[in-house]
Amino acid sequence: MRAMVMTKQGLPLQLKDIPVPEVQAGELLIRVSSCGICRTDLHVLDGDLTEPVLPLVPGHQIVGSIEAIGAGVENFAIGQRVGVPWLGGSCGKCDYCRNGQENLCDAAVYTGYQKNGGFAEFTTANAGYCFPIPETYSDMQAAPLLCAGLIGFRSYRQAMHAKTIALYG
């Protein structure tokens, strides 16, 4: 498959032919149809976020369709449209995870930083961190919701029963 690969921070991405990733237990293999680019991606590329896994396929605002389903995955179907965000995994056991703050988990795994992302024809993702994407959204509309949209949603969810909230950003 074709992919844009970062071999070293601070250098331009390189178009390379790399193997299609193999789906593992608990994962989805996704044919990427759209992947947004976010300031976080640029921080990874520029070296502001240090120690990424290299070589790396960046990108964490991924929309695509499921090509294969790993063992143990339920509630997803081949061909289903899904989205993959920045947060690609966590321990699920620490206080942060148990309180809905998985992004603060010491064992968090980030898409396009610690595992390959969506600047490729295919990617794999932990099914527990994938979201069904309604057909009412185009790929281009859905992609940014997998980053900025989730940040807003998390803030909204944590506001609980507030009568007034404001989102800035």
CATH of the domain at 100: 3.90.180.10
Residue 145 lies in a domain: yes
Q: Residue 166 domain-assigned?
A: no
Residue 73 lies inside a defined structural domain of this protein: yes
Q: CB–CB of 65/30 below 8 Å?
A: yes
- In this predicted structure, what is the pLDDT of residue 146? 83
Residue 116 belongs to what domain range? 2-159
Domain contains 57? yes
pLDDT the model gives residue 155: 62
Q: What is the mean pLDDT of residues 49-60?
A: 96
For the chain, what is the domain count?
1
The answer to whether residue 92 sits within a structural domain is yes
* pLDDT score of 133 more than 70: yes
Mean pLDDT of 71-76: 97
Q: What's the predicted TM-score (pTM) here?
A: 0.89
* Exposed/middle/buried for residue 152 (C-beta within 10 Å: 0-12, 13-18, 19+): middle
Q: Do 117 and 35 meet the contact criterion of CB atoms below 8 Å apart?
A: yes
pLDDT grade for 149, boundaries at 50, 70 and 90: low
Arithmetic mean of pLDDT, 57-68: 98
pLDDT above 90: residue 97 = yes
Flag whether 169 is in a domain: no
Cα–Cα nearest to 84, from 52, 131, 120? 131
- Give the pairing of strands 14-17 and 27-36: unpaired
- Name which of 65, 47, 50, 46 is nearest 118 in CA terms: 65
Q: How far apart are CA 53 and CA 50, in angstroms?
A: 10
- Range with the lowest mean pLDDT among 59-63, 115-119, 141-145? 141-145
CA distances from 142 to 58, 60, 132 (A): 18, 12, 10
Q: What is the mean pLDDT of residues 49-63?
A: 97
